[in-house]
Amino acid sequence: MADLTTAGSYFQTVDNSGTGIAASKLGFNKKSDDGQGIAGKTTVITVGVGGGAISQAQLDGIIEGLQSGASLVNSNAKSDAFTVVGVAGSSAGAAFAPGVSTSAILAIQGTGTPNTADAGEYFAAATVAITATFPGISG
């Protein structure tokens, strides 16, 4: 069997019953293109309120704005709506601290693209920046 401990060889080496998988089949057991394997797409965004600390009410308002797609900037247009699936503080591993954190990282899912051009689109004074986008299932 091939050496499976080398860098870049991160494959499942046994099946669900505990039977070893032949080294020649390991290449089939990995994701080799962009995406995350579920429908829609996942976008990681950073949100803020103009540089100041974000209160819990402001974060809740931003989340509600993202989920409803209601535009606060242009009442004639409706922004894309998203499902918020994760919230974190502004640094790796940090929790969001209301009234202390000046930004929050959100993982959102949907088929559209969040509006980053118009401050206040989702909530008063809210700013949005896209950090990463993971496409969904293709073709």
Distance CA 128, CA 37 (A): 25
Cα 62–chain centre separation: 15
79-137 residue pLDDT tens? 788 999 999 997 767 889 999 999 999 999 998 899 898 888 888 889 999 999 988 76
pLDDT at residue 13 in the model: 65
The encoded tokens of residue 134 equal 């993971």
Residue 7 has pLDDT above 50, yes or no: no
The encoded tokens of residue 94 equal 């940090």
Q: Which of 45, 33, 124 is nearest to 80 (CA)?
A: 45
Distance CA 72, CA 99 (A): 23
Name residue, tokens 């950073």: 46
